[in-house]
Structure 1
Amino acid sequence: MIDGVSGASASGMSGNRQTIAENFDTFLQLLTAQLKNQNPLEPLDSNEFTAQLVQFTSVEQALKTNEFLEAMMLSGQNANNAQAVSYIGKTVTASGATTDLTEEGAAWLYRIDEPAPNTTITVRDQAGNTVFTEKVSLEAGTGRYGWNGQSSSGETMPLGRYTVTIDARNSSGALVPATTQMMGIVEAVDVSGAEPYLTVSGLRLPLSAVTTVQSTPVSGGS
């Protein structure tokens, strides 16, 4: 998978090249037959013959251009694959509001452009049920919100996938746009499709959604 070019695009270009090649061969056959069967007393007009040669050259150039573009596409795909594979074991942040609750809890990164003292944070399970709600005051900029996995009633929620919603409001009650990101360790990379997908805490994320990559701290020690 990796690429910046989809498999469908690559196969499409290959098909186009094949079509051009077939037309190119047909053109050669017709031109050869025309030269062999022309009337010696009325030879092919030089201007018309020159125009055909120009067309011949244009078709040949189209073939070479397509081959060059295909080579560039493959090179880009290989570079993207290598980049994606290098993320395995790294901690990444990616656009999105869904992450996994582990034994250490769950965490999201957020960004708001102005202070939001009247903010409501809501956590929902995979079925969309609200399990936790909290009123908080957020400062402008980038921050981290952590959830310990307990519901609003104090019940310990099962490990799994949860989604956060940040309803940020300023002192006047006006909505403040907020963006959220999830964080986790890359466990695997799928390069079988048009774009590489990273598996982070069981979630499949497109490579394009990744915003930061960093080394994963080594836990434990002697």
Structure 2
Amino acid sequence: MTTTSAVSDSSNPYASLGLAVQQSSTDGSSTGLGQDAFLKLLTTQLQNQNPLNPTDNTEFIAQLAQISTVSGIESLNDSFSSLSSSLTSYQTLQAAQLVGHNVLVPSSAGYLPEGGTLDGAVAAGSSGTVQVDIVDASGQVVRTLDLGTQSAGVVNFSWDGKDAGGNTLDAGTYSLQARLIQGDTQTALTTYASSTVQSVQLASDGLTLDLQGLGAFALSDVAQIL
């Protein structure tokens, strides 16, 4: 059990008030001067002041302002802590309503559900021809989606799960590689994938969404709720 004891010092006139210097505890921490100890120290100072040279009013008011400031900061910290807890609870409740819904997140992979489609989007910085490669787990391009000439902005796409030969492929996670073609120049584009929210988790670094086939994403990563 960790104990903290005061250092005995007969020269310390405030030792009887519990204001002696505190030894550090075994875990390296030390006990600071709290509000009660501050008031005891201030009272003792007034009782033992020199009658011929009493404490200046300005100095006395400054000392009172110090404890007032400390109390105010402690109260403010408590208020912010309570507000933070309330906001976290509200945000968690709101995020829980996303379960079962599809969201769009920045991702280099997309999920093809059984009998469904792999949906996503790309962000084009300028106009040009947009193409998206669908890549399987072995690194083979199984299908190239030619989205044609597009203006700058977000371009949506949908893959039906079939390869270039018209064969239906297995459900699962596929990599996405997108590019913008402008003449002889090709520029890689950021890809987004749509997936279903399966659960919401509250972690130490914030809320995360577990997306089907894609894993965990921060709530702040969600670009669109579908």
Q: TM over 0.5: same fold?
A: yes
Larger radius of gyration: 2
Gaps of 5+ in 1: 1-18, 215-222
Distance 1:133 1:186 in 2: 26
C-alpha spacing 1:206/1:111, structure 2 compared with 1 (3 Å): same
| 1:29 pairs with one of 25, 40, 48 | 40
Seq. identity, %: 25
| 2:159 pairs with one of 147, 171, 176 | 147
SS of the aligned residue for 2:210 comes to strand
Query: In structure 2, what is the equivalent of residue 106 of structure 1?
Result: 118
C-alpha spacing 1:25/1:120, structure 2 compared with 1 (3 Å): same
2:184 pairs with 1:166: no
Counterpart contact for 1:116–1:138, Cα < 8 Å? yes
| 2:95 pairs with one of 78, 81, 84 | 84
Distance 2:225 2:179 in 1: 27
Gaps of 5+ in 2: 1-29
Counterpart contact for 2:178–2:188, Cα < 8 Å? no
C-alpha spacing 1:97/1:28, structure 2 compared with 1 (3 Å): same
| 2:216 pairs with one of 185, 188, 204 | 204
TM-score of the two chains, using structure 1 as the length reference: 0.72
Task: Give the superposed CA RMSD.
Answer: 3.0
SS of the aligned residue for 2:193 comes to strand
Q: How does 1:161-200 map to 2 (within 5 A)?
A: 161-170=173-182, 172-175=183-186, 178-200=189-211
TM-score of the two chains, using structure 2 as the length reference: 0.71
SS of the aligned residue for 1:39 comes to coil
Task: Supply the AA of the counterpart residue of 1:28.
Answer: L
| 1:123 pairs with one of 134, 147, 152 | 134
Distance 1:87 1:166 in 2: 28
Deviations 1:117-148 (A, max 9, x none): 3x443333457x24335272242243332334
2:72 pairs with 1:74: no
Counterpart contact for 1:124–1:132, Cα < 8 Å? yes
Counterpart contact for 1:84–1:189, Cα < 8 Å? yes
Counterpart contact for 1:110–1:144, Cα < 8 Å? yes
Distance 1:157 1:22 in 2: 70
Task: Supply the AA of the counterpart residue of 2:56.
Answer: D
Distance 1:190 1:163 in 2: 25
Counterpart contact for 2:136–2:142, Cα < 8 Å? no
| 1:132 pairs with one of 142, 154, 158 | 142
Distance 1:132 1:72 in 2: 51
Query: Relative to structure 2, which stretch is displaced further, 68-77 or 181-190?
Result: 68-77
